[in-house]
Structure 1
Amino acid sequence: MTSNATNEAVEADLPAVVNEPRLWSNNGWTARVIKNEDDEGWAVAMTKDGESEPALVGPWTMGRDKKSPKPLDASAFQTLVKTASEVLRRHEHQLQALLHKKLSLTTALGPLSVTLDIVPDEEDPYAVLGARDDAGELLAEVRVGPEFKLTAASARAWVEDDFRQPD
């Protein structure tokens, strides 16, 4: 494949840049100004390329005629991309916090870090309960149900039971 043919193939795979008054698409995001179903105003929906649902939907400013929406522009689009990206980042952090729990214990074995990592498999969800020493060495790891609650009391009971499978 020649250099030109390679460049053309790569460009064909890239989404087109769209800069229309009610539709902007660039850098992996699409902003679409839509009629607000809740009132007589307008909203803007920000959708990441490849996703079916918008990451962010928010109110949009009316134009000068007080009936039609203000057209999208480069500055507004960049602000919307930044805001929608932050929403996705917060969502990912929240999901990570729900799926990964960690606490520290002082035990007869010394300081331990006990973790619970939930694997949200659609057919067989489970969690992995693990214990590491101060140096980060894995001392024990067992598979538990996804409903297992990691608390200081449950972690201490597991450690004191020689890391046997919790009930």
Structure 2
Amino acid sequence: MNDDTQDSPLLQEARLWQDERWTARVIKNEDDDGWAVAMYKAGESEPALVGPWTMGRDKKNPKPLDGSAFITLVKTASEFVRRSEQQLHATLHQSVTVNGQAGRVTVLLDIVPDEDSPYAMLSARGDGGEMLAEFKVDAGFKLNRQTAQVWADADFAKPGRGEL
């Protein structure tokens, strides 16, 4: 038996559509006389995305939400969230490959965004994936090709505060 209810919206109102993962809510645009649509991911109190919404024919009220608009909004919001997650991952997990004394070395910086005391783990791995060095450093440590090369040239000595 095929269950199609998972993909069909739970709510279908003029200003509110909802499925199991997303809610689209048409809201008054606080910046002008127009309307906006806010996309909320299930379980989140803040919208993942807010964008302009079309006025209705009377030029006072918003155009009602419909199935095709909801599908487009879900795709747009999902893509926005995916890109934001990728950007956060790239910020928190950086890597640079440099030449070490024994060959290519990948230097990694993994930031732990702890609210009270954020920090990062700086590590170096050889071509075969073997751990060459690992140290806890400040979360603001700047990893780039130059700092990685300086660290490799120093035979992965424990770095000081900030940059090498």
- What is the TM-score of this pair, normalised by structure 1? 0.86
Could you tell me which runs of 5 or more consecutive residues in structure 1 were left unpaired when the two chains were aligned: 1-15
- Alignment root-mean-square deviation, CA: 1.3
Quick check: 2:40–2:49 contact (8 Å CA) kept in 1? Answer: yes
CA distance in 2, matches of 1:62, 1:152: 51
Shift of 1:120: 0.6
Shift of 1:105: 0.7
Q: AA paired with 1:23? A: L
Question: 4+ runs of 1 displaced by more than 6 Å?
Answer: none
Q: Which of the numbers 97, 106, 110 marks the counterpart of 1:113? A: 106
**CA deviations over 1:127-156 (Å, ceiling 9, x no partner):** 011111111121111111111111222222
CA distance in 2, matches of 1:153, 1:132: 17
Quick check: 2:123–2:135 contact (8 Å CA) kept in 1? Answer: yes
Aligned to 2:5: none
Aligned to 1:97: 90
Identity over the aligned pairs, expressed in percent? 62
Alignment of 1:1-167 (within 5 A): 17-167=10-160
The structure where helix makes up a greater share of residues is 1
Could you tell me which runs of 5 or more consecutive residues in structure 2 were left unpaired when the two chains were aligned: 1-8
CA distance in 2, matches of 1:134, 1:61: 55
RCO higher in structure (CA 8 A, sep ≥6): 2
Shift of 1:124: 1.8
CA distance in 2, matches of 1:25, 1:152: 47
Aligned to 2:51, what secondary structure does the other structure show?
A: strand
CA distance in 2, matches of 1:31, 1:163: 51
Aligned to 2:123, what secondary structure does the other structure show?
A: strand
Q: AA paired with 1:121? A: D
Shift of 1:122: 0.9
Aligned to 2:129, what secondary structure does the other structure show?
A: coil
CA distance in 2, matches of 1:22, 1:155: 53
